[in-house]
A and B are shown apart, each in its own frame.
Chain A
Amino acid sequence: MKKLVFLVLTLCLFAGTASADVEDRANAVLASVEGNQSYEAHFARELVAIAEDELGHGEASVARAFMDAAEKYARQAGGK
C-alpha cells in the first residue's frame, strides 16, 4: 500500500513538475524572441500559446511537444 501511495504521489509530482517545466520554458522562449518580428519568432510565440493552452487542459505531453517546437523556432529566430 505504501508503494502504491508512493507511485501516486510520484505521478502527481511528475505532473506538477511538467507544468512548472512548461511554464518556465514558455517564459524563456518568450523572453528570447521579445521584440523579434521575424516569422520564426512569431511562430514560436504562437506555439508557446498553444502549449500553455494545452497545459491548461491537462495535456502536459502535448504542451511539451508544442514547447519543443517553440524552442526550435525561437532558436531559428535568433533571439532578440
Chain B
Amino acid sequence: MKRLLMIATCASMAACTGHLPSTQYSELDDVRAAIQKARDAGAEQCAPAELAKAEARQLHAAHELDEGSSYDQDAASFLIDDGKASADQAYAKCTAAKPKPAPKPKPVVIQPKPAPKPMVVKPEVIALDGVFFESNSANLTASSTATLDKAVEALKKRADVKVEVAAHTDSGGKASYNEHLSGLRAQAVRGYLVSHGIDATRLTAKGYGEASPIADNATKEGRAKNRRVELIIK
C-alpha cells in the first residue's frame, strides 16, 4: 500500500511538469489557415491583439482536444470558432489599414515644341525724303544735300551697320532704262555719302527700277512717291 501511495504521489508530481499541447489536429485546420493568412497580412504588426487571441484560442483548443471528453470537444469547438473569428478580424484589420497603392501616374506626354518659325527680320528702311534728281539724270539737286547730310550724320553715329543705297523709279518709260537709271542714282547717293566721310566698305548701291512701287503709278502723286531713294540697313 505504501508503495502504491508513493507511486501515486510521484505520478502527481510528475504531472505537474506540463507542456503545451500540439496543434496538429485536423480540427484546427481552419483556424490554423486563418492565422497564417492573418500573419501573411502582417497581423503581428497591424493587429497584434487579435492575432494573439487567435493563436491562444488555437492552443487552448488543442489542449481541450488533448483531453478528449465530449465536454472538452465542445469547448474546443467554441475556442476554434472564436480563434478563427479573431484571425479573420486581424486579417480584415490589416488589409483595411494598408493604404491602397497610389494610382500610377499617367505618363507624361511631352509634346515637342513646334519648331520656331524662321524669324523674318524686316530690314530697317530709311526713306531719304527730299532727295531729288534732275529729270532723266543721276545728278542730285542742290536741295537734296540737306537730307543727305542728315543721313551722313546718322550713319556716322551707327558705325556698326552696313547700308544698301536703294533707288527706285516710277513706271514711266522702259523698265530696263528705269533700272539702269535707278542704278546710277543709287551710285550717286553712295558717292555723296562716301565723299562725306562714310566708309565705302559699308555702302552698296542698287537700282530697283520700277519693280518695287509703293504707290499708284497711275497718279502724279503716286509716281512721285515711287521715285525715291532709301537706305536699307543690313
Contacts and interface: CB of A to CB of B under 8 A. Distances in A.
B56 A49 contact: yes
B9 A11 contact: yes
Interface in A42-72: 42-43, 45-47, 49-50, 53-54, 60-66, 68-69
Contacts of A42: 48-49, 51-53
Residue with the highest number of chain B CB atoms closer than 10 Å, among A43, A45, A60: A43
**Interface SS majority for chain A:** helix
A18 B12 CA distance: 12
A11 B20 contact: no
B97 to A, nearest CB: 15
Contacts of A7: 5-6, 9
Given A14-B13, A50-B56, A64-B16, A38 B48 contact: yes
B56 A47 contact: yes
Interface string B4-15: 011001001101
Interface of B: 1-2, 5-6, 9, 12-13, 15-20, 44-45, 48-49, 51-53, 55-56, 59-60, 63
